A and B are shown apart, each in its own frame.
Chain A
Amino acid sequence: MFNKIQRFIVADILKNRIVLAYTLLLGVLAWSVFSLEDDSHKGVLTLLNIVLLTTPLVSIIFTTIYLYNSSEFIELLLSQPIRRARIWTGLFFGLFFSLALAFIVGAGVPILLFVTGAKAIILLVMGILITAVFVALGFLCAIISRDKARGIGIAILLWLFFSLLFDGLVLFLLFQLSDYPIEKAMVGVSALNPIDLARIFIILQLDVSAMLGYTGAIFKDFFGTGLGAAIGFGLLCLWVLVPYLVSLRMFVRKDL
């Protein structure tokens, strides 16, 4: 049975202006990138950077704000005969479906039209996975703090950390430890950031990993193999599951 709560939420979000604007933005960016670049390789790279910046931002902030704004809705549902876990799952899938749909309509359609082969599928799957990861992180932000402003602040900080600060830290470490053979350790460090994981996946598909230097070769050695790719994919799935399950556990025990 398709969850009724999900249906209400999807119907509600698809009417939301911010989600429409997000779809439109992705569409305009993707179409213009592919129209400007003759080489679809370069197009994918440009689009990759745009997607990896906007998708996490919109997913995490929108999810957090939406959850705070649905506190009434959640309260109303709680007095009805529904299991708490079902309310939370309904909210999660509702938000994930709508944001993933926005991504598929906005960026997915031009990707499928302009990019051929496995690259297109991987770019699409990574976009959807990143959406899921940041929706899950948004759930965590919303449950951690009762205060809306603080919750949204945490969401923005998380996005900033994964998009910018993390790379800065990694660069810093690279320079500090440049005398040591840390290339292998870098593979492990990259698992700590879902955005980096997605980026590595796609870059390896584009055969431009040479640009990453010696570390790139290690990445290629690891993530290029079937097992490595499976591990990377599994890690991204963990990035969805862990934050979501933690938030679920907190929600089930919360007083409302």
Chain B
Amino acid sequence: MIEIQHLSKRFGKFQVLRDVSLSCAPGQCIALIGPNGCGKTTLIKSILGMVLPTSGSIEFKGKDIAKDYHYRHQIGYMPQKGRYPDNMTIGQVIEMIKDIRGSKEALDEQLIDEFGLHDILEKRMRTLSGGTTQKVSASLAFLFNPDVLILDEPTAGLDPLAAEILKDKIVSEHQKGKLVFITSHLLSELDDLVTHVVMMQEGEIRFHMPTDALKASTNTSSLAKAITHVLKQDHVQ
């Protein structure tokens, strides 16, 4: 569904992505993990067309994304830190995005309902707490029933109840056969969500394998333990 080939990105002196190749199929739920500044967000922004690669290509359903922006109709993106126009209310932001997308399919307002956003539609974006802003971002990402969900640190800043609502939603969308990308530092949280793990280090992909295979090869029971095991092995070598 998404084919990334030999992707490199350089910001001035910094080589952020080095020859990244990645292939993702529908029905996968991929955890993108790695230390801070390893290029996770740049990779995600490249898929979204917000960062233009220095070299390499990205194909979405067989089409090069550099040539056609329509593929973004099929992507729901939840940024790490959603930034919205200060003076708009929650209701206006949602209406505006609906208007811009002009989607004719049924909207999925489940998260708006469950997060209770209907009661605070009149609030201006600048008055919102970080968690509430995240709720708006999450609601927008799921609103248009996209085939691909890209979630950058989705549960960071959410209260436990909201985080649980969001996780349930991710699981149910994944079961419908959608491709889900998640970056997170909370490995324990990813355990029951993801089917594949992509580990990045210094702009390169260290490994990309199914969660089960990773656990089996390291002889561990949880994702967190498996990752720690891999990192420790590195250390020994």
Do chains A and B interact in one complex? yes
| Cα of A149 to Cα of B23 in the assembled complex, Å | 42
Q: Are B69 and A72 in contact (CB under 8 A)?
A: no
Given A77-B100, A83-B69: A12 and B87 interface contact (C-beta under 8 Å): yes
Q: Are B52 and A81 in contact (CB under 8 A)?
A: no
Determine the residue in chain B with the shortest Cβ distance to A71: B83
Whether a CB of chain B sits under 8 angstroms from the CB of A29 is no
Q: Are B11 and A255 in contact (CB under 8 A)?
A: yes
B-side contacts of A72, CB under 8 Å: 83-86
Determine the residue in chain A with the shortest Cβ distance to B87: A12
Q: Are B83 and A256 in contact (CB under 8 A)?
A: no
Whether a CB of chain A sits under 8 angstroms from the CB of B169 is no
Q: Are A80 and B101 in contact (CB under 8 A)?
A: yes
Segment at the A interface, from B29-37, B72-80, B171-179: B72-80
**A82: contacting residue among B69, B83, B84, CB under 8 A:** B69
Q: How far is the CB of A101 from chain B (nearest CB, A)?
A: 19
Whether a CB of chain A sits under 8 angstroms from the CB of B112 is no
Whether a CB of chain A sits under 8 angstroms from the CB of B48 is yes
**B70: contacting residue among A8, A70, A81, CB under 8 A:** A81
Please report whether the interface of chain A is mostly helix, strand, loop or mixed according to DSSP. helix
A114-137, CB under 8 A of B: which get 1 and which 0?
Answer: 000000000000000000000000
Please classify how large the interface on chain B is, using the bins under 10, 10 to 19, 20 to 34, 35 or more.
20 to 34
A-side contacts of B50, CB under 8 Å: 75, 78-79, 255-256
| Cα of A39 to Cα of B165 in the assembled complex, Å | 73
A-side contacts of B96, CB under 8 Å: 4, 8
| Cα of A109 to Cα of B116 in the assembled complex, Å | 49
A219-256, CB under 8 A of B: which get 1 and which 0?
Answer: 00000000000000000000000000000000001011
Q: Are A81 and B11 in contact (CB under 8 A)?
A: no
A-side contacts of B11, CB under 8 Å: 255
Q: Are A79 and B48 in contact (CB under 8 A)?
A: yes
Whether a CB of chain A sits under 8 angstroms from the CB of B121 is no
Q: Are A5 and B100 in contact (CB under 8 A)?
A: yes
Whether a CB of chain A sits under 8 angstroms from the CB of B22 is no
Q: Are B52 and A255 in contact (CB under 8 A)?
A: yes
Whether a CB of chain B sits under 8 angstroms from the CB of A76 is yes
B-side contacts of A73, CB under 8 Å: 84-85
Determine the residue in chain A with the shortest Cβ distance to B92: A8
Q: Are B100 and A75 in contact (CB under 8 A)?
A: no
| Cα of A70 to Cα of B86 in the assembled complex, Å | 9
Q: How far is the CB of B44 from chain A (nearest CB, A)?
A: 10
B-side contacts of A71, CB under 8 Å: 83
Determine the residue in chain A with the shortest Cβ distance to B69: A83
| Cα of A253 to Cα of B48 in the assembled complex, Å | 14
Q: How far is the CB of A68 from chain B (nearest CB, A)?
A: 13
Q: How far is the CB of B109 from chain A (nearest CB, A)?
A: 18
Whether a CB of chain A sits under 8 angstroms from the CB of B56 is no
A-side contacts of B100, CB under 8 Å: 4-5, 77, 80, 82
B-side contacts of A70, CB under 8 Å: 85
Determine the residue in chain B with the shortest Cβ distance to A16: B87
Q: How far is the CB of A214 from chain B (nearest CB, A)?
A: 54
Interface CB pairs A-B, < 8 A, 7: A5-B100, A69-B86, A73-B84, A75-B79, A78-B50, A80-B97, A82-B72
Question: Given A72-B84, A75-B50, A79-B75, list of 7 further CB < 8 A pairs?
Answer: A4-B100, A12-B85, A75-B79, A82-B100, A255-B45, A256-B45, A256-B50
Interface, chain B (partner A; CB < 8 A): 11, 45, 48-52, 69-73, 75, 77, 79, 82-87, 93, 96-97, 99-101
